[in-house]
């Protein structure tokens, strides 16, 4: 039986699924979006920088995969009504949603807890914790209309165990893990929606380079190398998996 670590997706494993991915313009989000599309999904690319989303859009269209949708949104400043408007647009276009990957994140600064800037603290919490809460709430009616819906929250090693100087990023990830558990527990009894939290492990990206500037980039995986774990959770292989704190670390 395959697991999140061994899963090998079939070409059509996400056929006809509608999957929304935040932070889809770069790094892990872009790689997962392209892989979802190449396995049959229509992806909704949500992110801050329109130009980056357009590049991913162009690559997906050029590959012959289902045409994606671009939704530029700055999660640091979006208001609750922006999320409901966005969900209404998805409802109008597709009628339902099968997958929701909360992948966007703001790293903030690595600094002492005592000195952490309050404005930065609020921004990290807004992007990493409040935005996924607001987006999930707005999308739940659409996810309830899916026959096999999956929500993935993103966490990190620093969220699973707090570490000096990781401040708001670590704490927001820990709170996200707990939010996942609250939601998974509520949804397990009333719906078929599965909810999990995933730590991708060390992956080459802009965020990673800022967090670990001294790291040898050639020794860590590229985003394309870890996408199967996401496809496992978003597709039929992940059926029955819910409420789990998962990691793609080797």
Ligand X SMILES: NC(=O)c1ccc[n+]([C@@H]2O[C@H](COP(=O)([O-])OP(=O)(O)OC[C@H]3O[C@@H](n4cnc5c(N)ncnc54)[C@H](OP(=O)(O)O)[C@@H]3O)[C@@H](O)[C@H]2O)c1
Residue numbers at the binding site for ligand X (CB under 6 A): 23, 25-29, 47-49, 52, 74-76, 103-106, 127, 154, 156, 199-200, 202-203, 205-208
Smallest distance, ligand X to C-beta of residue 4, A: 15
What's the closest the beta carbon of residue 108 comes to ligand X, in angstroms? 11
Least distance to ligand X from the beta carbon of 72, Å?
Answer: 8
Name the β-bridge partners of 198.
Answer: 154, 246
Catalytic residue among 83, 116, 165, 169: 169
232 is catalytic: no
Closer of 91 and 157 to ligand X (Cβ): 157
Nearer to ligand X, 17 or 106 (CB): 106
**Closest CB to ligand X among residues 146, 200:** 200
Contact 202, 249 (CB under 8 A): yes
Q: Residues 113-123, buried b or exposed e (16+ Cβ, 10 A)?
A: eeebeeeebeb
Q: How many Cα atoms occupy the beta-carbon half-sphere of 215 within 13 Å? A: 17
CB of 223 to ligand X, least distance (A): 6
Using CA atoms, how far apart are residues 222 and 117, in angstroms rounded to an integer?
A: 32
User: Residues 159, 174: contact at Cβ < 8 Å?
Assistant: yes
Contact 101, 31 (CB under 8 A): no
According to DSSP, residue 221 is labeled B
Contact between residue 110 and residue 163 where contact means Cβ atoms under 8 Å apart: no
Shortest Å distance, C-beta 202 to ligand X: 5
13 or 32: CB nearest ligand X: 32
Q: Are 85 and 46 in contact (CB under 8 A)?
A: no
**Using CB atoms, what's the residue nearest to ligand X?**
27
Judged by DSSP in three states, 229 sits in helix
Question: Which residue numbers are catalytic?
Answer: 169
């Amino acid at each position: 039986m395959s697991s999140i670590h061994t899963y090998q997706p079939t070409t059509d494993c996400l056929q006809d699924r509608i999957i929304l991915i935040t932070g889809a313009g770069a790094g892990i989000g872009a790689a997962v979006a392209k892989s979802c599309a190449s396995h049959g999904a229509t992806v909704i690319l949500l992110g801050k920088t329109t130009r980056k989303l357009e590049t991913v859009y162009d690559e997906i269209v050029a590959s012959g995969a289902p045409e994606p949708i671009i939704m530029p949104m700055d999660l640091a400043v979006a208001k609750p009504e922006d999320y409901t408007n966005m969900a209404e647009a998805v409802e109008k276009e597709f009628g339902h949603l099968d997958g929701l990957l909360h992948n966007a994140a703001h790293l903030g600064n690595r600094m002492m807890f005592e000195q952490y800037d309050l404005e930065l603290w609020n921004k990290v919490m807004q992007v990493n914790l409040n935005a996924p809460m607001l987006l999930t709430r707005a999308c739940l009616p659409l996810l309830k209309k899916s026959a096999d819906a999956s929500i993935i929250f993103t966490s990190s090693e620093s969220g699973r165990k707090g570490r000096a100087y990781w401040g708001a990023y670590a704490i927001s990830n820990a709170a996200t893990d707990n939010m996942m558990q609250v939601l998974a527990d509520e949804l397990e009894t009333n719906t078929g929606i599965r909810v999990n939290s995933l730590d991708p492990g060390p992956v080459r990206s802009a965020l990673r380079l800022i967090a670990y500037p001294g790291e040898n980039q050639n020794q860590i995986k590229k985003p394309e190398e870890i996408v199967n774990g996401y496809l496992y959770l978003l597709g039929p292989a992940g059926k029955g998996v819910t409420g789990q704190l998962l990691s793609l670390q080797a």
